[in-house]
Structure 1
Amino acid sequence: MTAQQGLLDILLKTSVVPVISIDSISNAVPLARALAAGGLSVIEITLRTAASLDAIRAIASEVESVVVGAGTIIQPAQLEAATRAGARFAVSPGYSNRLLDAAEASEIPLLPGVASASEALNLIERGYRLAKFFPAESAGGVDFLSSLASPLPQLRFCPTGGITRQIAPRYLELTNVLCVGGSWMAPKNLVSARDWQSITVQSRAAAALLAARQSQIGMNSKITPLT
Protein backbone atom coordinates (compact mmCIF):
# COMPACT_ATOMS: atom_id res chain seq x y z
CA MET A 1 0.00 0.00 0.00
CA THR A 2 1.34 3.44 -0.91
CA ALA A 3 1.54 6.23 1.65
CA GLN A 4 -1.14 8.16 -0.24
CA GLN A 5 -3.49 5.16 -0.26
CA GLY A 6 -2.93 4.69 3.46
CA LEU A 7 -3.80 8.33 4.07
CA LEU A 8 -6.91 8.00 1.91
CA ASP A 9 -8.05 5.05 4.01
CA ILE A 10 -7.60 7.14 7.16
CA LEU A 11 -9.50 10.17 5.85
CA LEU A 12 -12.38 8.05 4.58
CA LYS A 13 -13.08 7.00 8.17
CA THR A 14 -14.56 10.40 8.95
CA SER A 15 -16.39 13.42 7.63
CA VAL A 16 -14.70 15.87 9.98
CA VAL A 17 -11.14 15.89 11.29
CA PRO A 18 -10.95 17.83 14.56
CA VAL A 19 -7.99 20.25 14.41
CA ILE A 20 -6.91 20.69 18.00
CA SER A 21 -4.28 22.74 19.83
CA ILE A 22 -3.54 21.33 23.28
CA ASP A 23 -2.02 23.60 25.93
CA SER A 24 -2.10 21.12 28.81
CA ILE A 25 -0.99 17.51 28.50
CA SER A 26 -3.58 16.58 31.15
CA ASN A 27 -6.33 17.37 28.63
CA ALA A 28 -4.96 15.25 25.78
CA VAL A 29 -6.32 11.80 26.58
CA PRO A 30 -9.74 12.84 27.95
CA LEU A 31 -10.25 15.15 24.97
CA ALA A 32 -9.37 12.40 22.51
CA ARG A 33 -11.74 10.02 24.28
CA ALA A 34 -14.53 12.61 24.21
CA LEU A 35 -14.09 13.13 20.48
CA ALA A 36 -14.00 9.39 19.84
CA ALA A 37 -17.11 8.84 21.96
CA GLY A 38 -18.91 11.20 19.60
CA GLY A 39 -17.72 9.27 16.55
CA LEU A 40 -14.69 11.33 15.52
CA SER A 41 -11.84 8.81 15.49
CA VAL A 42 -9.34 10.74 13.33
CA ILE A 43 -7.88 13.85 14.95
CA GLU A 44 -5.11 16.32 14.17
CA ILE A 45 -3.02 17.79 16.98
CA THR A 46 -1.30 20.96 15.81
CA LEU A 47 2.37 21.49 16.68
CA ARG A 48 1.69 24.99 17.98
CA THR A 49 2.18 24.41 21.70
CA ALA A 50 4.88 23.04 23.96
CA ALA A 51 2.57 20.18 24.93
CA SER A 52 1.74 19.04 21.39
CA LEU A 53 4.24 16.21 20.92
CA ASP A 54 3.59 14.84 24.40
CA ALA A 55 -0.14 15.03 23.66
CA ILE A 56 0.32 13.01 20.46
CA ARG A 57 2.45 10.50 22.34
CA ALA A 58 -0.16 10.08 25.09
CA ILE A 59 -3.09 9.72 22.70
CA ALA A 60 -1.24 7.27 20.47
CA SER A 61 -0.39 5.05 23.44
CA GLU A 62 -3.57 5.33 25.50
CA VAL A 63 -6.49 5.81 23.08
CA GLU A 64 -6.46 2.89 20.67
CA SER A 65 -9.73 3.93 19.01
CA VAL A 66 -8.20 7.18 17.72
CA VAL A 67 -5.92 7.73 14.72
CA VAL A 68 -3.87 10.76 15.71
CA GLY A 69 -2.02 12.99 13.28
CA ALA A 70 0.30 15.95 13.67
CA GLY A 71 -0.61 19.31 12.17
CA THR A 72 1.25 22.53 11.36
CA ILE A 73 4.24 20.57 10.05
CA ILE A 74 6.45 23.13 8.32
CA GLN A 75 9.92 21.56 8.43
CA PRO A 76 11.44 18.06 8.15
CA ALA A 77 12.54 17.99 11.80
CA GLN A 78 8.91 18.33 12.91
CA LEU A 79 7.92 15.47 10.63
CA GLU A 80 10.54 13.27 12.24
CA ALA A 81 9.52 14.31 15.76
CA ALA A 82 5.85 13.65 15.04
CA THR A 83 6.68 10.20 13.72
CA ARG A 84 8.66 9.35 16.84
CA ALA A 85 5.76 10.57 19.00
CA GLY A 86 3.40 8.09 17.34
CA ALA A 87 1.54 10.23 14.82
CA ARG A 88 -0.04 8.20 12.02
CA PHE A 89 -0.13 11.06 9.51
CA ALA A 90 1.10 14.64 9.16
CA VAL A 91 -0.55 17.81 7.88
CA SER A 92 1.10 21.03 6.69
CA PRO A 93 -0.44 24.45 5.99
CA GLY A 94 1.58 24.60 2.76
CA TYR A 95 4.66 22.89 1.40
CA SER A 96 8.22 23.37 0.25
CA ASN A 97 10.34 21.09 -1.92
CA ARG A 98 12.44 20.36 1.16
CA LEU A 99 9.41 19.23 3.11
CA LEU A 100 8.11 17.11 0.23
CA ASP A 101 11.53 15.49 -0.14
CA ALA A 102 11.50 14.61 3.56
CA ALA A 103 7.98 13.24 3.26
CA GLU A 104 9.08 10.81 0.56
CA ALA A 105 11.40 9.16 3.08
CA SER A 106 9.00 9.41 6.02
CA GLU A 107 7.27 6.49 7.69
CA ILE A 108 4.00 8.43 7.80
CA PRO A 109 2.08 10.16 4.97
CA LEU A 110 1.93 13.91 4.57
CA LEU A 111 -1.17 15.92 3.67
CA PRO A 112 0.35 19.11 2.23
CA GLY A 113 -1.59 22.35 2.02
CA VAL A 114 -2.45 24.34 -1.10
CA ALA A 115 -4.22 27.64 -1.70
CA SER A 116 -3.97 27.97 -5.49
CA ALA A 117 -4.32 25.99 -8.70
CA SER A 118 -0.57 26.33 -9.37
CA GLU A 119 0.29 24.83 -6.00
CA ALA A 120 -2.17 22.02 -6.64
CA LEU A 121 -0.59 21.32 -10.03
CA ASN A 122 2.87 21.19 -8.45
CA LEU A 123 1.64 18.56 -6.00
CA ILE A 124 0.14 16.47 -8.79
CA GLU A 125 3.49 16.57 -10.58
CA ARG A 126 5.12 15.27 -7.40
CA GLY A 127 2.70 12.34 -7.35
CA TYR A 128 0.25 13.63 -4.74
CA ARG A 129 -3.44 12.86 -5.02
CA LEU A 130 -4.53 14.24 -1.64
CA ALA A 131 -4.13 17.78 -0.28
CA LYS A 132 -5.29 20.12 2.41
CA PHE A 133 -7.00 23.28 1.13
CA PHE A 134 -5.94 26.05 3.49
CA PRO A 135 -7.04 28.59 4.57
CA ALA A 136 -10.26 27.36 3.04
CA GLU A 137 -12.73 30.15 3.63
CA SER A 138 -10.38 33.06 2.98
CA ALA A 139 -8.75 31.35 -0.03
CA GLY A 140 -11.95 31.03 -2.04
CA GLY A 141 -14.08 28.55 -0.16
CA VAL A 142 -16.56 26.17 -1.75
CA ASP A 143 -16.68 28.02 -5.07
CA PHE A 144 -12.91 27.81 -5.54
CA LEU A 145 -12.72 24.09 -4.75
CA SER A 146 -15.67 23.39 -7.02
CA SER A 147 -13.88 25.17 -9.86
CA LEU A 148 -10.85 22.87 -9.47
CA ALA A 149 -12.83 19.64 -9.81
CA SER A 150 -12.94 19.59 -13.62
CA PRO A 151 -9.41 20.74 -14.56
CA LEU A 152 -7.70 18.86 -11.70
CA PRO A 153 -9.78 15.72 -11.08
CA GLN A 154 -6.69 13.86 -9.83
CA LEU A 155 -6.61 15.77 -6.55
CA ARG A 156 -8.93 15.34 -3.59
CA PHE A 157 -9.06 17.71 -0.65
CA CYS A 158 -9.55 18.18 3.07
CA PRO A 159 -10.43 21.88 3.33
CA THR A 160 -9.52 23.51 6.65
CA GLY A 161 -9.59 27.05 7.96
CA GLY A 162 -12.65 29.04 8.99
CA ILE A 163 -15.02 26.09 8.49
CA THR A 164 -17.95 25.94 10.87
CA ARG A 165 -20.66 23.40 11.55
CA GLN A 166 -22.99 25.39 9.28
CA ILE A 167 -20.55 25.61 6.38
CA ALA A 168 -19.14 22.07 6.49
CA PRO A 169 -22.03 20.36 4.65
CA ARG A 170 -21.50 22.61 1.62
CA TYR A 171 -17.90 21.42 1.30
CA LEU A 172 -18.87 17.79 1.76
CA GLU A 173 -21.24 18.03 -1.19
CA LEU A 174 -18.27 18.56 -3.54
CA THR A 175 -17.03 15.52 -5.44
CA ASN A 176 -13.38 16.42 -4.82
CA VAL A 177 -13.72 16.78 -1.03
CA LEU A 178 -13.06 13.80 1.22
CA CYS A 179 -13.57 15.44 4.60
CA VAL A 180 -13.18 18.81 6.30
CA GLY A 181 -11.01 19.99 9.15
CA GLY A 182 -12.42 22.12 11.95
CA SER A 183 -12.34 22.90 15.63
CA TRP A 184 -15.91 23.89 16.39
CA MET A 185 -16.70 20.64 18.21
CA ALA A 186 -13.97 21.30 20.79
CA PRO A 187 -13.78 25.06 21.37
CA LYS A 188 -11.24 26.35 23.87
CA ASN A 189 -13.86 27.27 26.46
CA LEU A 190 -15.16 23.69 26.63
CA VAL A 191 -11.65 22.24 26.73
CA SER A 192 -10.60 24.67 29.48
CA ALA A 193 -13.71 23.73 31.45
CA ARG A 194 -12.98 20.04 30.80
CA ASP A 195 -16.58 19.71 29.63
CA TRP A 196 -16.01 16.42 27.84
CA GLN A 197 -19.72 15.59 27.68
CA SER A 198 -20.53 18.72 25.65
CA ILE A 199 -17.60 17.99 23.33
CA THR A 200 -18.93 14.48 22.78
CA VAL A 201 -22.38 15.85 21.95
CA GLN A 202 -20.96 18.29 19.41
CA SER A 203 -18.69 15.59 18.00
CA ARG A 204 -21.67 13.31 17.48
CA ALA A 205 -23.38 15.98 15.39
CA ALA A 206 -20.21 16.42 13.31
CA ALA A 207 -19.82 12.68 12.83
CA ALA A 208 -23.38 12.48 11.52
CA LEU A 209 -22.20 14.34 8.44
CA LEU A 210 -20.38 11.17 7.34
CA ALA A 211 -23.61 9.27 6.75
CA ALA A 212 -25.00 12.17 4.76
CA ARG A 213 -21.85 12.33 2.66
CA GLN A 214 -21.89 8.58 1.95
CA SER A 215 -25.46 8.77 0.71
CA GLN A 216 -24.61 11.33 -1.96
CA ILE A 217 -24.73 10.35 -5.59
CA GLY A 218 -21.19 9.99 -6.87
CA MET A 219 -19.68 8.90 -3.57
CA ASN A 220 -18.06 5.99 -5.37
CA SER A 221 -15.75 8.44 -7.11
CA LYS A 222 -14.32 9.31 -3.70
CA ILE A 223 -13.46 5.80 -2.59
CA THR A 224 -11.74 4.39 -5.64
CA PRO A 225 -8.06 3.54 -5.04
CA LEU A 226 -5.52 6.21 -5.82
CA THR A 227 -3.38 5.75 -8.92
Structure 2
Amino acid sequence: MRAAPVIPVLVLDDPSEAVAIGAALVKGGLPVLEVTLRTPRALEVLAAMTAIDGAIVGAGTVLDAAQLDQALDAGARFIVSPGLTDRLAKAAAARRACFLPGVANASDIMRGLDLGLNRFKFFPAEASGGLRALKALAGPFGDVRFCPTGGITLETAPAWLAEEAVLCVGGSWLVKPGLSTAEIEAAASRASSLPR
Protein backbone atom coordinates (compact mmCIF):
# COMPACT_ATOMS: atom_id res chain seq x y z
CA MET A 1 0.00 0.00 0.00
CA ARG A 2 3.00 2.31 0.16
CA ALA A 3 4.07 1.67 -3.44
CA ALA A 4 2.20 4.79 -4.61
CA PRO A 5 0.03 7.48 -3.04
CA VAL A 6 -3.02 6.50 -5.10
CA ILE A 7 -4.51 3.11 -5.95
CA PRO A 8 -6.64 3.45 -9.10
CA VAL A 9 -10.07 1.89 -8.57
CA LEU A 10 -11.06 0.41 -11.92
CA VAL A 11 -14.44 -0.66 -13.28
CA LEU A 12 -13.59 -2.32 -16.60
CA ASP A 13 -15.19 -5.00 -18.76
CA ASP A 14 -12.91 -5.34 -21.80
CA PRO A 15 -9.67 -7.25 -21.12
CA SER A 16 -7.77 -5.85 -24.12
CA GLU A 17 -8.77 -2.27 -23.30
CA ALA A 18 -7.92 -2.92 -19.65
CA VAL A 19 -4.34 -3.94 -20.45
CA ALA A 20 -3.74 -0.66 -22.31
CA ILE A 21 -5.29 1.31 -19.44
CA GLY A 22 -3.31 -0.58 -16.81
CA ALA A 23 -0.06 -0.15 -18.72
CA ALA A 24 -0.69 3.61 -18.95
CA LEU A 25 -1.33 3.79 -15.20
CA VAL A 26 1.85 1.86 -14.40
CA LYS A 27 3.87 3.98 -16.85
CA GLY A 28 2.47 7.07 -15.12
CA GLY A 29 3.78 5.83 -11.77
CA LEU A 30 0.81 3.99 -10.25
CA PRO A 31 1.71 0.27 -10.15
CA VAL A 32 -0.97 -0.87 -7.68
CA LEU A 33 -4.27 -1.44 -9.52
CA GLU A 34 -7.62 -2.42 -8.00
CA VAL A 35 -9.96 -4.16 -10.46
CA THR A 36 -13.46 -4.08 -9.03
CA LEU A 37 -15.66 -7.14 -9.50
CA ARG A 38 -18.55 -5.02 -10.75
CA THR A 39 -18.69 -6.13 -14.37
CA PRO A 40 -19.43 -9.49 -16.02
CA ARG A 41 -15.84 -9.87 -17.30
CA ALA A 42 -14.01 -8.39 -14.30
CA LEU A 43 -12.13 -11.62 -13.53
CA GLU A 44 -10.95 -11.81 -17.16
CA VAL A 45 -9.84 -8.18 -16.89
CA LEU A 46 -7.95 -8.92 -13.69
CA ALA A 47 -6.22 -11.96 -15.19
CA ALA A 48 -5.22 -10.00 -18.30
CA MET A 49 -3.83 -7.12 -16.25
CA THR A 50 -1.55 -9.40 -14.25
CA ALA A 51 0.61 -9.65 -17.38
CA ILE A 52 1.43 -5.91 -17.25
CA ASP A 53 5.09 -5.47 -16.40
CA GLY A 54 5.45 -3.81 -13.01
CA ALA A 55 1.76 -4.02 -12.10
CA ILE A 56 0.51 -5.20 -8.71
CA VAL A 57 -3.08 -6.16 -9.49
CA GLY A 58 -5.75 -6.82 -6.90
CA ALA A 59 -9.49 -7.36 -6.79
CA GLY A 60 -11.98 -4.91 -5.31
CA THR A 61 -15.66 -5.16 -4.42
CA VAL A 62 -15.06 -8.70 -3.15
CA LEU A 63 -18.19 -9.61 -1.20
CA ASP A 64 -17.77 -13.26 -0.23
CA ALA A 65 -15.36 -16.19 0.01
CA ALA A 66 -16.29 -17.53 -3.43
CA GLN A 67 -15.36 -14.23 -5.08
CA LEU A 68 -12.16 -14.12 -3.02
CA ASP A 69 -11.18 -17.57 -4.31
CA GLN A 70 -12.04 -16.65 -7.90
CA ALA A 71 -10.02 -13.43 -7.70
CA LEU A 72 -6.97 -15.13 -6.19
CA ASP A 73 -7.20 -17.91 -8.76
CA ALA A 74 -7.27 -15.23 -11.49
CA GLY A 75 -4.00 -13.80 -10.15
CA ALA A 76 -5.06 -11.11 -7.66
CA ARG A 77 -2.23 -10.17 -5.31
CA PHE A 78 -4.52 -8.41 -2.85
CA ILE A 79 -8.22 -8.35 -1.99
CA VAL A 80 -10.34 -5.28 -1.19
CA SER A 81 -13.87 -5.45 0.18
CA PRO A 82 -16.35 -2.64 0.85
CA GLY A 83 -17.01 -4.11 4.30
CA LEU A 84 -15.80 -6.60 6.87
CA THR A 85 -17.34 -9.96 7.71
CA ASP A 86 -15.80 -12.66 9.86
CA ARG A 87 -16.36 -15.22 7.10
CA LEU A 88 -14.55 -13.18 4.45
CA ALA A 89 -11.67 -12.27 6.79
CA LYS A 90 -11.21 -15.92 7.75
CA ALA A 91 -11.30 -16.99 4.09
CA ALA A 92 -8.62 -14.41 3.29
CA ALA A 93 -6.49 -15.65 6.20
CA ALA A 94 -6.90 -19.26 5.07
CA ARG A 95 -5.60 -18.31 1.62
CA ARG A 96 -2.89 -16.07 3.13
CA ALA A 97 -4.27 -13.21 1.06
CA CYS A 98 -3.38 -9.58 1.59
CA PHE A 99 -6.84 -8.35 2.65
CA LEU A 100 -8.08 -4.76 2.92
CA PRO A 101 -11.65 -4.71 4.26
CA GLY A 102 -13.81 -1.63 4.35
CA VAL A 103 -14.60 0.04 7.67
CA ALA A 104 -16.57 3.15 8.57
CA ASN A 105 -16.73 3.10 12.38
CA ALA A 106 -14.90 2.06 15.55
CA SER A 107 -16.81 -1.22 15.88
CA ASP A 108 -15.70 -2.29 12.39
CA ILE A 109 -12.08 -1.49 13.27
CA MET A 110 -12.28 -3.36 16.58
CA ARG A 111 -13.75 -6.42 14.85
CA GLY A 112 -10.92 -6.25 12.32
CA LEU A 113 -8.32 -6.00 15.08
CA ASP A 114 -9.88 -9.06 16.74
CA LEU A 115 -9.38 -10.87 13.42
CA GLY A 116 -5.71 -9.89 13.28
CA LEU A 117 -6.07 -7.03 10.78
CA ASN A 118 -4.61 -3.53 11.12
CA ARG A 119 -4.93 -2.12 7.59
CA PHE A 120 -8.34 -1.02 6.37
CA LYS A 121 -10.15 0.71 3.53
CA PHE A 122 -12.03 3.69 5.01
CA PHE A 123 -15.17 3.51 2.88
CA PRO A 124 -17.11 5.36 1.69
CA ALA A 125 -14.67 8.03 2.83
CA GLU A 126 -16.47 11.28 2.06
CA ALA A 127 -19.97 9.93 2.75
CA SER A 128 -18.77 8.54 6.11
CA GLY A 129 -17.73 11.94 7.40
CA GLY A 130 -14.62 12.66 5.40
CA LEU A 131 -11.23 13.54 6.78
CA ARG A 132 -12.69 14.78 10.05
CA ALA A 133 -14.23 11.36 10.73
CA LEU A 134 -11.03 9.54 9.81
CA LYS A 135 -9.00 11.70 12.21
CA ALA A 136 -11.48 10.92 14.99
CA LEU A 137 -11.30 7.18 14.27
CA ALA A 138 -7.51 7.13 13.99
CA GLY A 139 -7.08 8.70 17.45
CA PRO A 140 -7.83 5.64 19.59
CA PHE A 141 -6.32 3.22 17.07
CA GLY A 142 -2.74 4.46 16.77
CA ASP A 143 -1.36 1.36 15.04
CA VAL A 144 -4.11 1.17 12.43
CA ARG A 145 -3.54 2.46 8.90
CA PHE A 146 -6.08 3.32 6.22
CA CYS A 147 -6.64 3.61 2.49
CA PRO A 148 -9.57 6.05 2.27
CA THR A 149 -11.70 5.48 -0.82
CA GLY A 150 -14.92 7.01 -2.07
CA GLY A 151 -15.39 10.62 -3.11
CA ILE A 152 -11.70 11.52 -3.04
CA THR A 153 -10.37 13.63 -5.92
CA LEU A 154 -7.00 14.81 -7.15
CA GLU A 155 -7.70 18.10 -5.39
CA THR A 156 -8.67 16.59 -2.01
CA ALA A 157 -6.16 13.71 -1.98
CA PRO A 158 -3.24 15.78 -0.57
CA ALA A 159 -5.13 16.56 2.65
CA TRP A 160 -5.86 12.86 3.15
CA LEU A 161 -2.30 11.81 2.34
CA ALA A 162 -0.92 14.29 4.88
CA GLU A 163 -2.44 12.25 7.71
CA GLU A 164 -0.10 9.81 9.47
CA ALA A 165 -2.78 7.11 9.56
CA VAL A 166 -3.23 7.22 5.77
CA LEU A 167 -1.00 4.96 3.66
CA CYS A 168 -2.61 5.82 0.32
CA VAL A 169 -5.99 6.73 -1.15
CA GLY A 170 -8.23 4.93 -3.62
CA GLY A 171 -9.05 6.94 -6.71
CA SER A 172 -11.72 6.36 -9.32
CA TRP A 173 -11.09 9.75 -10.95
CA LEU A 174 -8.09 8.50 -12.95
CA VAL A 175 -9.94 6.47 -15.58
CA LYS A 176 -13.05 7.99 -17.10
CA PRO A 177 -14.82 6.89 -20.30
CA GLY A 178 -13.36 8.46 -23.42
CA LEU A 179 -9.89 9.22 -22.05
CA SER A 180 -6.96 8.23 -24.23
CA THR A 181 -4.11 6.18 -22.80
CA ALA A 182 -1.93 9.32 -22.99
CA GLU A 183 -4.48 11.21 -20.88
CA ILE A 184 -4.65 8.31 -18.40
CA GLU A 185 -0.85 8.21 -18.16
CA ALA A 186 -0.79 11.98 -17.54
CA ALA A 187 -3.45 11.67 -14.82
CA ALA A 188 -1.45 8.85 -13.23
CA SER A 189 1.71 10.96 -13.35
CA ARG A 190 -0.06 13.81 -11.53
CA ALA A 191 -1.45 11.42 -8.93
CA SER A 192 1.86 9.59 -8.41
CA SER A 193 3.60 12.86 -7.62
CA LEU A 194 1.21 13.80 -4.81
CA PRO A 195 3.11 14.48 -1.58
CA ARG A 196 2.63 12.33 1.48
> Is TM-score (shorter-chain normalized) higher than 0.5?
yes
Per the normalisation by structure 1, the TM-score is 0.84
Match of 1:124 among 106, 109, 113: 113
Match of 1:98 among 87, 90, 102: 87
Aligned to 2:146: 157
Aligned to 1:49: 39
Matched, 1:204 2:189: yes
Match of 2:60 among 53, 61, 71: 71
Q: How many residues align?
A: 196
Q: CA deviation at 1:56?
A: 0.9
Matches within 5 A, 1:1-227: 11-60=1-50, 62-190=51-179, 195-209=180-194, 212-213=195-196
Moved over 4 A (4+): none
Partners of 2:117 and 2:105 lie apart in 1 by 15
Contact 1:83/1:107 (<8 A) preserved = no
Contact 1:124/1:154 (<8 A) preserved = no
Q: CA deviation at 1:150?
A: 2.0
Partners of 1:160 and 1:12 lie apart in 2 by 15
CA deviation vs aligned residue, 1:171-196 (integer Å, no higher than 9, x gap): 00111000000111111232xxxx10
CA deviation vs aligned residue, 1:64-95 (integer Å, no higher than 9, x gap): 21000000001000000001100100000001
Contact 2:15/2:49 (<8 A) preserved = no
Aligned to 1:4: none
Q: Percent identity?
A: 45
Q: Which has the higher helix share?
A: 1
Partners of 1:98 and 1:149 lie apart in 2 by 25
Contact 2:13/2:45 (<8 A) preserved = no
Which consecutive unaligned segments of at least 5 residues does structure 1 have?
A: 1-10, 214-227
CA RMSD of aligned residues (A): 0.9
Partners of 2:123 and 2:47 lie apart in 1 by 26
